[in-house]
């Protein structure tokens, strides 16, 4: 049996990269029997059914180090969450949703603000900067001026990274700009609604070198937090960590409880108000979904 990695899944076929070769493989019934759905990023054993046509059969999935629902991907080390400074403007609730998901899977996150060339006048960047203070790597980039691309490239080296973010923020363009050997399809955003047109349709893992992989993904703008208890959410807001040690109640959810140190930190400007508001929003959502 051969060993490889699923780089793309389209209409029942799994494309498996093994060295420099890519085999198109079908799944075996045994995977279905075990209720296993192969994901892009999966490490697999496969058998070759036709060497010349590079066709094969998936035989076995190797157990995953991580698994995400959106984007659906296995074995990534980190997420590259991409926003654009303008066209479309940053969606911070989506950012916090993605961060919570990544934290709960113990994945690292890099936050990228792209299209910095569109910055015409000074902006209030306090919210953007607050993510850096929380310990996230925040990179400002432009595929037009080249700003930030080298430091981003360094952060990707030796790891498997999935890109995530809304349509039209420039995910595929970023990959093309950093790695000119790729010419992924990109698409202008709609002038009328200032949104992307969902140019990338399938997730695909691109091999940069034997240790560095990048996954381009279709843009998405909704993400429901699932599989979390309302009491767990607060632990995935990194910026709450220090303050919440001083809340009067150990189990404080930072809502109406007396002597809440997180609310105090928000008032005093140590935690950004926007982050707290997003926390309350996500908490309500988790509680609402639990009722069904
Ligand atoms: N001004 C400016 N435009 C950019 C930049 N990066 C990308 N774009 C443009 O933004 C548009 C969308 O880029 P894509 O790379 O297709 O965006 P995407 O995130 O891959 O979108 P989906 O595949 O739909 O999810 C294209 O017209 C790009 O040329 C940038 O740094 N500055
Ligand atoms: Mg794209
Ligand atoms: Zn509290």
- The DSSP annotation for 129-187 comes to HHHHHTT-EEEE--TTT-TTHHHHHHHHTTSEEEEE--TTSSHHHHHHHH-TT------
Q: How confident is the model at residue 120 (pLDDT cuts 50, 70, 90)?
A: confident
Place of tokens 């916090």: 96
List the one residue out of 11, 23, 10, 16 whose CA is nearest residue 41. Answer: 16
Cα(34)–Cα(158) distance, rounded to whole angstroms?
A: 32
Going by C-beta distance under 8 Å and a sequence separation of 6 or more, which residues neighbour residue 227? Answer: 104
Query: 115: Cβ below 6 Å to ligand 1?
Result: yes
Cα(188)–Cα(192) distance, rounded to whole angstroms?
A: 12
Residue among 70, 145, 186 to mutate when testing ligand 1 (max atoms within 8 A of CB): 186
110 — phi, psi (to 5°)?
A: -110, 135
High-pLDDT (> 70) share of the chain, %: 98
Quickly count: other Cβ atoms within 10 Å of residue 171's Cβ.
30
Residue among 187, 198, 218, 221 to mutate when testing ligand 1 (max atoms within 8 A of CB): 187
Residue among 118, 139, 168 to mutate when testing ligand 1 (max atoms within 8 A of CB): 168
What are the contacts of 58-62 at 24+ separation with CB within 8 A?
Answer: 58/14, 58/16, 58/25, 58/26, 58/27, 58/28, 58/31, 59/1, 59/28, 59/30, 60/1, 61/31, 61/36
Strands 13-18 and 137-140: unpaired
Q: Ligand 1 atom closest to Cα of 187? A: 16
Residue 291: per-residue pLDDT: 67
Q: Ligand 1 atom closest to Cα of 198? A: 24
Query: 200: Cβ below 6 Å to ligand 1?
Result: yes
13 neighbors 25 (Cβ within 8 angstroms): yes
Mean pLDDT in residue range 131-150? 96
Kindly give the distance from the C-alpha atom of residue 219 to the centroid of ligand 1, in angstroms, as a whole number: 11
Nearest residue by C-alpha to atom 24 in ligand 1? 198
Residue among 173, 185, 193 to mutate when testing ligand 1 (max atoms within 8 A of CB): 173
Residue 33: per-residue pLDDT: 64
Paired tokens of 188: 């202008």
Cα(221)–Cα(271) distance, rounded to whole angstroms?
A: 25
Nearest residue by C-alpha to atom 14 in ligand 1? 170
Q: Ligand 1 atom closest to Cα of 196? A: 24
Ligand with minimal distance to 189 CA: 1
Q: Is 80 exceeded by the pLDDT of residue 31?
A: no
Query: 221: Cβ below 6 Å to ligand 1?
Result: no
Q: Ligand 1 atom closest to Cα of 220? A: 25
Which domains does the chain show, CATH number per domain? 2-61 (2.40.50.140), 67-216 (3.40.50.300), 230-290 (1.10.40.50)
Mean pLDDT in residue range 212-230? 90
Q: Is 80 exceeded by the pLDDT of residue 154?
A: yes
For the residues of 174-208, what is the DSSP string, one character each? HHHHH-TT------PPBTTTTB------S-EEEEE
Cα(8)–Cα(202) distance, rounded to whole angstroms?
A: 8
State pLDDT tens for residues 54-111.
Answer: 999 999 999 999 988 888 899 999 999 999 988 888 899 999 999 999 999 899 999 9
State pLDDT tens for residues 189-220.
Answer: 887 777 888 899 999 999 999 899 999 999 98
Query: 172: Cβ below 6 Å to ligand 1?
Result: yes
Query: 140: Cβ below 6 Å to ligand 1?
Result: no
Residue 240: per-residue pLDDT: 97
Query: 147: Cβ below 6 Å to ligand 1?
Result: no
Quickly count: other Cβ atoms within 10 Å of residue 215's Cβ.
24
Q: How far apart are the first and last CA of the chain?
A: 45
Going by C-beta distance under 8 Å and a sequence separation of 6 or more, which residues neighbour residue 190? Answer: 168, 196, 197
Nearest residue by C-alpha to atom 7 in ligand 1? 170
Look at 154-163, 169-178, 181-190, 248-257 and tell me which has the smallest mean pLDDT: 181-190
pTM above 0.75, yes or no: yes
């Amino acid at each position: 049996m051969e060993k490889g990695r699923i780089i793309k899944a389209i209409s029942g076929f799994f494309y498996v990269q093994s060295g420099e070769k890519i085999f198109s493989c079908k799944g075996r019934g045994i995977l279905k029997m075990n209720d296993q759905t192969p994901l892009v990023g999966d490490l697999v054993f496969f058998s070759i059914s036709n060497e010349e046509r590079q066709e094969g059969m998936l035989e076995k999935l190797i157990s995953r180090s991580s698994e995400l629902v959106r984007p659906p991907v296995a074995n990534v080390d980190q997420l590259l969450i991409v926003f654009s400074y303008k066209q479309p403007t940053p969606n911070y609730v989506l950012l916090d949703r993605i961060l919570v998901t990544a934290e709960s899977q113990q994945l690292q996150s890099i936050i990228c603000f792209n299209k910095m060339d569109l910055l015409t006048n000074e902006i209030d960047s306090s919210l953007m900067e607050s993510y850096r203070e929380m310990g996230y790597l925040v990179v400002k980039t432009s595929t037009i001026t080249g700003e930030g691309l080298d430091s981003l490239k360094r952060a990707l080296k030796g790891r498997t990274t999935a890109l995530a973010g809304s349509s039209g923020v420039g995910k595929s363009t970023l990959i093309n700009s950093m790695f000119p050997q790729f010419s992924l399809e990109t698409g202008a955003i709609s002038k009328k609604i200032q949104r992307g047109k969902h140019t990338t349709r399938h997730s695909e893992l691109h091999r940069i070198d034997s240790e560095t992989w990048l996954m381009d993904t279709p843009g998405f703008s909704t993400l429901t937090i699932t599989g979390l208890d309302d009491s767990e959410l607060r632990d995935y807001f990194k910026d709450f960590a220090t303050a919440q040690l001083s809340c009067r109640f150990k189990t404080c959810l930072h809502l109406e409880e007396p002597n809440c140190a997180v609310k105090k930190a928000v008032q005093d400007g140590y935690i950004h108000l926007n982050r707290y508001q997003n926390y309350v929003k996500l908490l309500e959502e988790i509680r609402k979904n639990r009722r069904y």
